[in-house]
Structure 1
Amino acid sequence: MEPSHKDAETAAAAASATDPRGAASSSGVVVQVREKKGPLRAAIPYMPFPVAVICLFLNTFVPGLGTFVSAFTVLCGARTDLPDRHVCCVFWLNIAAALIQVLTAIVMVGWIMSIFWGMDMVILARYKEQGIPQQL
């Protein structure tokens, strides 16, 4: 059975609604993506921007040192993505992350992790500075 003329028009309209890559256009649709963070990643504090830059600098040249410094900002009242955990628990999670970075720096993994950790600190500080909700 052949498709009717009306079915051909519907198919043509649907084809024109797709972009060259074949994806359908979705005007007016908002998609929200939320990253699921592990406990170590969620323990990174939202620090003031200059402090985050200093921690990134320290992490770049001495793996884990900036993460160690950031642990003390939690004790000074910096927020994290772990609001249900006690401040001491979050402090020790940051100390554990710094220790992991120091111990694995010998094989370059800790050094790279330390730099990325510092970059995350700066990104989170930028979000805090701009007042953007923390929906990473």
Structure 2
Amino acid sequence: MEPSHKDAEPAAAAAADPRGASSSSGVVVQVREKKGPLRAAIPYMPFPVAVICLFLNTFVPGLGTFVSAFTVLCGARTDLPDRHVCCVFWLNIAAALIQVLTAIVMVGWVMSIFWGMDMVILARYKEQGIPQQL
């Protein structure tokens, strides 16, 4: 009697690993997200300001992103420490304009909401003292 297909899979996996251990035991995988320049320009704001920007982005696409650009001028940190403050400010203005111009086809509105959610997530990281590079 031949083993069924289900019985053959564990046997093949055990034959592939000479120690007899599963391939996931003792393995630590670290994932780092690579951010583009627009996403890396999102400032680490105080939590209440980030929530206000999310609210604004939800109802008027790009408005919260536009407001967040001015927090960069007020000293909010970003994941672009090597760029000048004015450059990061203009990257945020560009993101706001993209959201406004593409809101007509709903893409900008969805992008605006996700941008606001990222602002709140980054503000929570700042509040909890979690390092910027995750």
Confirm or deny: 8 A CA contact 2:14 2:20 kept in the other structure: no
In the TM superposition, what whole-angstrom CA distance separates every residue of 1:16-39 from its partner, at most 9, and x where no partner exists?
xx9999993544443211101100
Matches within 5 A, 1:97-116: 97-116=95-114
In 2, Cα distance between the equivalents of 1:78 and 1:54? 15
Confirm or deny: 8 A CA contact 2:53 2:63 kept in the other structure: yes
CA change 1:80–1:19 in 2 (3 A) is farther
Confirm or deny: 8 A CA contact 2:65 2:112 kept in the other structure: yes
CA change 1:7–1:45 in 2 (3 A) is closer
Aligned residue number for residue 3 of structure 2: 3
What runs of 5+ residues in structure 1 fail to find an aligned partner?
none
Q: CA RMSD in A?
A: 5.8
CA change 1:54–1:19 in 2 (3 A) is farther
In the TM superposition, what whole-angstrom CA distance separates every residue of 1:69-121 from its partner, at most 9, and x where no partner exists?
00000000000000000000000000000000000101100000000000000
| Identical residues among aligned pairs (%) | 97
Confirm or deny: 8 A CA contact 2:55 2:64 kept in the other structure: yes
CA change 1:5–1:108 in 2 (3 A) is closer
In 2, Cα distance between the equivalents of 1:128 and 1:101? 25
In 1, Cα distance between the equivalents of 2:6 and 2:113? 59
Q: Provide the aligned length of Structure 1 versus Structure 2.
A: 134
Deviates more, 1:62-71 or 1:2-11: 2-11
CA change 1:131–1:8 in 2 (3 A) is same
In 1, Cα distance between the equivalents of 2:90 and 2:39? 13
The alignment's TM-score, normalised by the length of structure 1, stands at 0.81
CA change 1:11–1:58 in 2 (3 A) is same
What runs of 5+ residues in structure 2 fail to find an aligned partner?
none
How far apart are 1:134 and its partner, in Å? 1.9
Confirm or deny: 8 A CA contact 2:14 2:21 kept in the other structure: no
